[in-house]
Structure 1
Amino acid sequence: MIAVSLLGLAGAALAQDIPANMPKRKPGLWEMQTSGMGGQSQTTKFCLDADTDTAMYKMGTHMSGQMCSKFKIDVQGSNKVVTDAVCKINTPNGGVDMTSHSETTYQGDTSYATQGHITYNPAIMGHADMAITSTGRWVGQCAAGQKPGDMIMPNGQTMNIKDMQGH
């Protein structure tokens, strides 16, 4: 469920060409904590370099281009990104209209915090709306054996974003 919501937030943010003044993240190992429904928190780690950051944006652009009818990304000042989107997601029970709004504030290139709100029509699993919070922070160099694009999911599984795109 959180993955669907994050896809909405990330997809909305990445559905268009990224503005040239989009804040950049420092290369290395990042840890992202996300919480939403019921206060559940999930931690994902990923190894990032400039090419991987671009690859993640391209993947989001491709996915949201298929799902979203409306999106807007606005970089405000040097450290704030506001996104709004209207998307249609397919679920086992049929199509669901999803509207999202998020605001991400960057602290330099080593951390960021996102506050978001998503509404679903019809409700998904009894939830018509959800608040999402996400924080990301640079924790150091990528671990030995990690390559850019490696993501360690909350369940411990590792996958590579670039491999998913066929790069």
Structure 2
Amino acid sequence: MTRQLALLGSAICLVLSAGTAGAVELPTRKAGLWEMKMVRSGGPMPEMTMQHCTDETTDKEMSTAASPMAKEICSKQDIQKTATGYVTDSVCSVAGVTVQGHAEITGDFNSAYTVKSTSHAEGGKAGAHDTTMTIEAKWLGACKADQKPGDMIMPGGMKMNIKDMEKLKGLLPKQPPK
């Protein structure tokens, strides 16, 4: 379970860095239920598949809600539109660990998209290490009857709502001034 939460943390950092950059913004995903399969190398974490129920408002809120948190923990957040999609670069620090990340995002945000990311982390108990993660997302259809926008269903059935991220912010260690 701890490993799954750490992987979710990595994915949230990717969302924070990708969703808050300057003038270029990622498109809003099609409303409904998205399946996201995460495959990570450079560590012992297994492949993880989760589902996310979203709508246009929730996707936009994720970007704007993430902005204040990302501004606090990230010294660099760049996103560029490319011929095939988007490229993001970020440098973020949490709990004495600094992560430099690079992601390439391709797809149409209506039926499927892929995020290929690499990161280099320094500090903390794990020391310096590199990680590669691929997120393959596909639209499954309408959200299930018992789901509301923002709900994420993790492996094992654990359910959380991404709109509660602001509550998670209070759990992060305080960052020293930049």
**Would you say same fold, with TM above 0.5?**
yes
Judging by fraction of residues, say which structure has more strand. Answer: 1
Query: Residue 104 of structure 1 aligns with which residue?
Result: 105
Q: 1:23 aligns with which of 8, 22, 27?
A: 27
User: Measured at CA, do residues 96 and 162 of structure 1 come closer, stay the same or move farther in structure 2, by a change above 3 Å?
Assistant: closer
User: Measured at CA, do residues 73 and 27 of structure 1 come closer, stay the same or move farther in structure 2, by a change above 3 Å?
Assistant: same
Query: Residue 38 of structure 2 aligns with which residue?
Result: 34
User: Measured at CA, do residues 163 and 70 of structure 1 come closer, stay the same or move farther in structure 2, by a change above 3 Å?
Assistant: closer
Name the CA distance, whole Å, in 1 between partners of 2:62 and 2:104: 19
Identify unmatched segments of 5+ residues in structure 1: none
Partner SS for 2:75: strand
Query: Residue 70 of structure 2 aligns with which residue?
Result: 64
TM-score (norm 1): 0.84
User: Measured at CA, do residues 100 and 145 of structure 1 come closer, stay the same or move farther in structure 2, by a change above 3 Å?
Assistant: same
Name the CA distance, whole Å, in 1 between partners of 2:52 and 2:109: 18
Query: Residue 2 of structure 1 aligns with which residue?
Result: 7
TM-score (norm 2): 0.79
Identify unmatched segments of 5+ residues in structure 2: 1-5, 168-178
Name the CA distance, whole Å, in 2 between partners of 1:136 and 1:124: 31
Query: Residue 17 of structure 2 aligns with which residue?
Result: 12
Q: Is the 8 A contact 2:22 2:79 kept in 1?
A: no
Query: Residue 148 of structure 1 aligns with which residue?
Result: 149
Name the CA distance, whole Å, in 1 between partners of 2:110 and 2:118: 24
Report the alpha carbon displacement of residue 50 of structure 1 after superposing the two structures with TM: 0.3
1:85 alignment partner AA = S
Query: Residue 176 of structure 2 aligns with which residue?
Result: none
User: Measured at CA, do residues 81 and 149 of structure 1 come closer, stay the same or move farther in structure 2, by a change above 3 Å?
Assistant: same
Name the CA distance, whole Å, in 1 between partners of 2:15 and 2:125: 19
User: Measured at CA, do residues 88 and 39 of structure 1 come closer, stay the same or move farther in structure 2, by a change above 3 Å?
Assistant: closer
What fraction of aligned residue pairs are identical, expressed as a percent? Answer: 35
User: Measured at CA, do residues 153 and 40 of structure 1 come closer, stay the same or move farther in structure 2, by a change above 3 Å?
Assistant: same
Question: Alpha-carbon deviations, 1:39-89, whole Å to 9, x = none?
Answer: 611111111110011111123222211100111011224x51110001111
Aligned length: 160
Report the alpha carbon displacement of residue 11 of structure 1 after superposing the two structures with TM: 1.4
Q: Is the 8 A contact 1:123 1:129 kept in 2?
A: no
Report the alpha carbon displacement of residue 111 of structure 1 after superposing the two structures with TM: 0.5
- In the TM superposition, 1:38-53 aligns within 5 A as 38=44, 40-53=46-59
1:87 is aligned to 2:92 = yes
